[in-house]
Amino acid sequence: MSPQGHTEAGGPLAGIVVVAVEQAVAAPFATRQLADLGADVIKVERASDGDFARGYDTTVRGQSSHFVWLNRGKRSITLDVKSDEGRRTLGELVARADVVVQNLAPAAARRLGIDAHTLAAEHPRLVACDVSGYGAGGPYSDRKAYDLLIQCDAGLVSITGTPEAPVKAGISIADIAAGMYAYTGILTALYDRERTGRGRSLEVSMLEALGEWMGYPELYARYGGTSPSRAGAAHATIAPYGPVSTASGHVITIGVQNEREWAALCTHVLERPDLAEDPRFRGNAARAEHRAELDAAIEGVFAGLDVTEAERRLDVAGIANVRQRTLDEFADHPQLQARDRWMTVGTPRGDIEMLRPPVTAGWPSPPARVPAVGEHDDEVRAWLRATDASEAEHR
């Protein structure tokens, strides 16, 4: 039995109760995906100021953009988990949960008895998931691990940026990677529970999650002897694959994936069929080796074309291309408008527009609202009392 109102909302995870002792990005990203599928996500927050991500900025009608993005569809209950009463209430929630997700420091989770290993041992049908920076055990287990630090530690920053300067990714990519693996791991464990009747303890670390996404550059460096070069907005190892500027000032990103496309680019776009047979550019490895000469040849032609003519030639040649968009331009993307991909989400300070979940499957979508701190304190506690009374009647 889940808190009143959620099972009626529908979705493939309707009736699944998720208790989330979470903060910041990684775990909230995972549990928001579960909420989007209809799970009852009960978010445990500090009574004083809640999830500290609420204070990251005030850009969304006075609210944090990170928090609004990550917490729609959840219920918020405030607990002091260090107090006897708070631990007792948390224990009652865990006893009624199908899934518990937490991203406290490993040592703190163990002190509270809510690490996945402890919870799974106490509740055999529970799916318990720990999300941390480095995972339990090992010399880095209890180190603080923020997204930028993990980007550096996993080598991402070393291959991102320009030849002159490394840069971080513009989004919290280490957190997102960990959140996605927690989400898919939880779904898999729930599916496995349907077959076996048993829950599972899961562990996801940001370092290992982002490390998986670093698979190609790690293999390239390990067996090729050098890391992929930092190439700005261009691809580090495929050429031509990156931005070019047109005479009208617009930037177009093009992508050539094979020799057929390279020949078409030379003939129909650059109007230089001789380049297709130039030994410097025959094969991707040669083009990447002679990238400076390649870029000069391409940029020289595009500098004489306005954006409309450049796009026409690229389309005729069958070369993948897009204009570089700003975030405002992305929000007005004609493809998203045509597919009705924006939805209205309620927040404590008014409605906003957010993208729908990226999987289109036709199942019901539960109402989406971003909770205020402790908005559902009374409701969730009333649900706990009601389930206590119901269980007492059946004893």
Give residue limits of the domains in the chain: 7-214+338-393, 241-323
pLDDT, position 70: 97
C-beta of residue 71 within 8 angstroms of C-beta of residue 22: no
Residue 233: CB atoms within 10 A of its CB come to 11
For the stretch 146-149, contacts whose Cβ atoms lie closer than 8 Å and that sit 24 or more positions apart, written own/partner, are 147/25, 147/172, 147/173, 147/174, 147/175, 147/206
pLDDT, position 5: 45
The Cα 100–Cα 21 span in angstroms is: 8
pLDDT, position 6: 47
Report, as ranges of residue numbers, the positions in the chain whose pLDDT lies below 50.
Answer: 1, 4-8
The Cα 220–Cα 208 span in angstroms is: 18
pLDDT, position 47: 86
**241-323 has the same fold as 7-214+338-393:** no
The class level of CATH for 241-323 reads alpha beta
pLDDT, position 392: 57
pLDDT, position 237: 87
The class level of CATH for 7-214+338-393 reads alpha beta
pLDDT, position 365: 78
